[in-house]
Structure 1
Amino acid sequence: MRILDLTAILVSLTAALTFLNARYLKLPTSIGITIGGLIVSLVVFGLVELDVPFARDAVELVRGIQFSDFVFEGVLSFLLFAGALGVNSPALWSLRGPVISFALLSTALSIALVGGGMYLLLGLFNLDIPLVYCLLFGALISPTDPIAVLGMLKEAKVPKRIETLVAGESLFNDGVGVVAFAVLASVAAVSQVGGSHGAGGHGPELSVAGVAGFFAQEALGGLVLGAVLGYIAWLALRALDDFVAEVLVTLSLVLACTAVATQLHVSAPLAAVAAGLLVGSLNDRVPSALSARERYEGFWHLTDELLNIFLFALLALEVVAVRFSVQSLLLGALAIPLVLLARTISVQIPISVLRRRHEFSPFTRRLMIWGGLRGAISVALAFSVPAGKERDLFLVMTYVVVVFSIVVQGLSVGRLAAKAGADHEARERPAEN
């Protein structure tokens, strides 16, 4: 089987699943595609067990795909740029304190809680996995993916403050989580090979100051790079009134963020977020650019939807290549309550601290906890773990958590969002009368 054949199968499968979901299931796209992908995965599993040549060749070809490279050097920056471009930048700026607190404090707490809990859990199963690898699992499972939830929040007409908070927290949560994963992966590599620096001299020095400096380089460097390139792109967009040229400028901006960030060893995801927010916010202040912005934002909204559909369909094929065991499935099931507990604590503590200066709408805490879905980013990070027993175990555990998150949480969070919307309308009604 050629890569072209696999691509044709993947695109056709994606189209079929999207059609069935839109025509019959009518679920949020990512949830419908995930459920359909699960069914397809089970069918392929059965065909492989029956030693059907076509299925066996497809699985071998999928195993050769660098899923993590596909996501991090291609899809992720585009997704985050599109998400940032669609965020109400002034509203996000007004919530900058809570958003930054959740992105930094909540992510750090989640990594520590999941990593520590996983270290204890694996010890009960007599699995000798170093603490740094358990923290690595905490880093890969902490980024949230609210794409399906945001659609439900808009339909349920929840307060814009909640919608902005969830969107902003996720954008920066993803970037911070990826940076934290890179830092921990470098520390793990250093601890394995010995010495004071990572491979190629780009990893952190094994000290608090070294790790903090490496994190600052990745995070702050990515934000600064995105701001600089985003401003240059805005200067070009301001002088244009041509849809094709505007699209090409924004496409080149995302590609430049990714390529330059890789060369400078800074965070490409955070660069894409900063560039998207800057381009969007500056256009808000230029009335003559609003019509142009509507045109290329429509393009980026469509791109966002298509990439997510394709990503979840690819995920369905990727999981076929993962080697499962009863123990790894059990550990994955046990990881679900651990991840939910860590999410609850990591959201509750910042809210308790910030409540003294910021007002949070009812249902904010519940929507952030239950709406904190895990998605393809977590799976891509799991594929990035160095080859070995840790990688095989984390892949299965991550997939179990992601499937539960998207299917169970994703299917039930809509009712919670509807309650939040109804509560908001009930509170607004007396004020109107």
Structure 2
Amino acid sequence: MVLESGLSEAGIEQNLKQFLLVLSVSLSVATLSQIVSWFRQIPYTLLLVIVGLGLAFVDVRLVNLSPELILSIFLPPLLFEAAWNLKWSRLKRDLVPICLYAIVGVIISIAGVAFSLDQWAGVPIATALLVGASLSATDPISVTALFRELGASKRLTTLLEGESLFNDGMAVVAFSFLVAIPLGRANLELPVIIGSFIAVVGIGIGVGGLIGYGISYLTQRFDLPLVEQSLTLVAAYGIYLLTEELGGSGVIGVVTGGLILGNFGSRIGMNPRTRIIVTEFWEFLAFFVNSIVFLLIGDQIEFAILGENLGTIAITIAAMIATRAIAIYGLGSFSNWTVRSEIPWSDRTVLWWGGLRGSVSIALALSVPVVLSEREEIIATVFGVVLFTLLVQGLTTKPLLQALNLIGDQSLRQEYVELTARQVALDRVLDHLQQSDRPPGIEEDLYRYQTALLRGELERLQTALEKLQAKHPNLQEFAVEQFQSELLAIEADTYAELVRLGRLNRELSPFLQTALEGSVTDS
């Protein structure tokens, strides 16, 4: 008994050392990308992959990456953070094209890759289907980080993130069906497949919705930021584990719960300060997990095995790019024609090329049963394709945005926001000086001097803002958007406060949102 305890303690200590080593390397690389200006040209996630490849090249293996590690530990917080920050108002506008890309697009991707591998690489169809299913899940983390940095449109970011959140679930569900084919356990009757699909998706939506709404109403009863923050963490992992236990899709469950808590629960159950605390917590957690995942992706590469499968990898890459073009352009045109989505060719081009593959694809490949003789070939192919998308497509997305003239004026907007923020803050300080009595021990001259100093700084800020707006007239539209967002936030917060006080039974829809949308339509 004592011996077993000693062994377990030694194992825990060894795992802790490995974890600290991975964490130290990943955070050092992520920090380096912020300190050294040259490295800022590369998204930090891609820089982590490159460093991981360097470690793999010299045969330094930090830790063995397993599907359980990715799907059970790393995936829930990444999905929840993305869903928490995805605004339902934006998602609703493009729900039809997003669902088309996430459902029909996944089917097109699986079928196209499987057909190509079967016809031109001689891969058995059952194996080819598993490769296609593994690679049908997109991972836009690096690209969306680049979008935010460069000021690309919010709609483009929503389309890419929305598709990824939903197609991750579709890819996992499809893989779970297809993996049974080479094992001889598959029931390929169409009614059975449709029924199983509805059950898996339905359980995910049901559990995610139940827990999401349950926590939303629970947090109305108290105002404890740390408890509310902890509840969101419990929700992310609890929804995933419970849904999987019940036979549903944990991915779809977490996305559903995250969307509800981010768009509904955070409004009716959390005050503005708590929302900021929770959002910052999830931003940290996403950065933390991404830093580890992308480093380990590069570190897991086996160059010898990749070399043996270069032909299969090349065919898979070509098929994947071609099928994604068919899905994005074809389904985009269909959506534009049927529901007038009005997704321009330039946006669809970025969606096509920005469809990177990442951790979910690798987790699915690693979860292929060991009894399958083609397992190593599947893993090598998926790793090779993921590496191509991250390094080639990931590093060329910025030039593509520049060529299509889709880079916004993010730095200019940031300067404007900082100037207005300082103006608001100093206005409040000046109001405090004018409305409160002079504290004991503070001389009148010093009091007047501070007041004059603040007024002088406010005049300087106002002049700077006027010059900026005169030089860049397009800032006027941004200023109107900021003003409208502030009004909507005040209205929504007021409804939430009235719900917490018991003066309303439910939160009302923002009146200003409807009014503003109506004015835009009329104009």
Distance, in Å, in 2 between the alignment partners of 1:241 and 1:182 is 41
> Is 1:3 paired with 2:15?
yes
Q: Which residue does 1:71 correspond to in 2?
A: 70
> Is 1:29 paired with 2:44?
yes
Q: 8 Å contact 1:110–1:142 — kept in the other structure?
A: yes
Post-superposition offset of 1:404: 1.2
Q: 8 Å contact 2:50–2:298 — kept in the other structure?
A: no
**Relative to 1, partners in 2 of residues 1:98 and 1:226: Cα closer, same or farther, differing over 3 Å?**
same
Q: Which residue does 2:384 correspond to in 1?
A: 400
Distance, in Å, in 2 between the alignment partners of 1:424 and 1:310 is 30
Instruction: Name the aligned partner's letter for residue 112 of structure 2.
Output: L
Q: Is 385-394 or 262-271 further displaced after alignment?
A: 385-394
Aligned counterpart for 2:354 among listed residues 371, 375, 383? 371
Structure 1 portions without partners, runs of 5+: 45-54, 124-128, 192-197, 199-203
Post-superposition offset of 1:355: 1.2
Q: 8 Å contact 1:133–1:390 — kept in the other structure?
A: yes
> Is 1:347 paired with 2:325?
no
Q: Which residue does 2:239 correspond to in 1?
A: 257
Q: 8 Å contact 1:114–1:138 — kept in the other structure?
A: yes
Distance, in Å, in 2 between the alignment partners of 1:160 and 1:348 is 20
Listed as ranges, the matches of 1:379-390 within 5 Å are 379-387=362-370, 388-390=372-374
Q: Which residue does 1:52 correspond to in 2?
A: none
Q: Which residue does 1:246 correspond to in 2?
A: 228
Instruction: Name the aligned partner's letter for residue 15 of structure 2.
Output: I
Q: Which residue does 2:259 correspond to in 1?
A: 277
Aligned counterpart for 2:143 among listed residues 149, 152, 170? 149
Distance, in Å, in 2 between the alignment partners of 1:288 and 1:18 is 31
Q: 8 Å contact 2:83–2:259 — kept in the other structure?
A: yes
> Is 1:91 paired with 2:106?
no
Listed as ranges, the matches of 1:414-433 within 5 Å are 414-420=398-404, 422=406
Q: 8 Å contact 1:158–1:421 — kept in the other structure?
A: no
Aligned residues: percent identity? 27
Structure 2 portions without partners, runs of 5+: 1-10, 410-472, 478-523
Aligned counterpart for 1:169 among listed residues 163, 169, 190? 163
**Relative to 1, partners in 2 of residues 1:337 and 1:327: Cα closer, same or farther, differing over 3 Å?**
same
Aligned counterpart for 2:175 among listed residues 170, 181, 199? 181
Post-superposition offset of 1:313: 1.7
Q: Larger relative CO (CA 8 A, sep 6+): 1 or 2?
A: 1
Distance, in Å, in 1 between the alignment partners of 2:174 and 2:35 is 41
Post-superposition offset of 1:217: 1.4
Distance, in Å, in 2 between the alignment partners of 1:420 and 1:287 is 42
Classify the secondary structure of the residue corresponding to 1:324.
helix
Post-superposition offset of 1:308: 0.8
**Relative to 1, partners in 2 of residues 1:276 and 1:117: Cα closer, same or farther, differing over 3 Å?**
same
**Relative to 1, partners in 2 of residues 1:67 and 1:288: Cα closer, same or farther, differing over 3 Å?**
closer
Q: Which residue does 1:209 correspond to in 2?
A: 191
Q: Which residue does 2:311 correspond to in 1?
A: 330
Instruction: Name the aligned partner's letter for residue 160 of structure 2.
Output: V
Q: Is 173-182 or 149-158 further displaced after alignment?
A: 149-158
Aligned length: 396
> Is 1:20 paired with 2:23?
no
Distance, in Å, in 1 between the alignment partners of 2:286 and 2:110 is 27
Deviations 1:352-408 (A, max 9, x none): 211112211351111110111111211111101122432101111111111111111
Q: From the CA coordinates, give the structure whose radius of gyration is larger.
A: 2
Instruction: Name the aligned partner's letter for residue 56 of structure 2.
Output: S
Classify the secondary structure of the residue corresponding to 2:181.
helix
**Relative to 1, partners in 2 of residues 1:240 and 1:431: Cα closer, same or farther, differing over 3 Å?**
closer
Q: Which residue does 1:201 correspond to in 2?
A: none
> Is 1:137 paired with 2:131?
yes
Post-superposition offset of 1:9: 2.5
**Relative to 1, partners in 2 of residues 1:430 and 1:354: Cα closer, same or farther, differing over 3 Å?**
farther
Instruction: Name the aligned partner's letter for residue 206 of structure 1.
Output: L
Instruction: Name the aligned partner's letter for residue 14 of structure 1.
Output: S
Instruction: Name the aligned partner's letter for residue 324 of structure 1.
Output: I
Q: Which residue does 2:495 correspond to in 1?
A: none
**Relative to 1, partners in 2 of residues 1:73 and 1:152: Cα closer, same or farther, differing over 3 Å?**
same
Aligned counterpart for 2:53 among listed residues 38, 42, 61? 38
Distance, in Å, in 1 between the alignment partners of 2:407 and 2:289 is 34
Q: Which residue does 2:441 correspond to in 1?
A: none
**Relative to 1, partners in 2 of residues 1:338 and 1:299: Cα closer, same or farther, differing over 3 Å?**
same
Q: 8 Å contact 1:362–1:420 — kept in the other structure?
A: no
- Give RMSD over aligned pairs: 2.4
Q: Which residue does 1:303 correspond to in 2?
A: 285
Deviations 1:335-360 (A, max 9, x none): 22221111111112211211112211
Distance, in Å, in 1 between the alignment partners of 2:220 and 2:400 is 42
Distance, in Å, in 2 between the alignment partners of 1:16 and 1:284 is 33
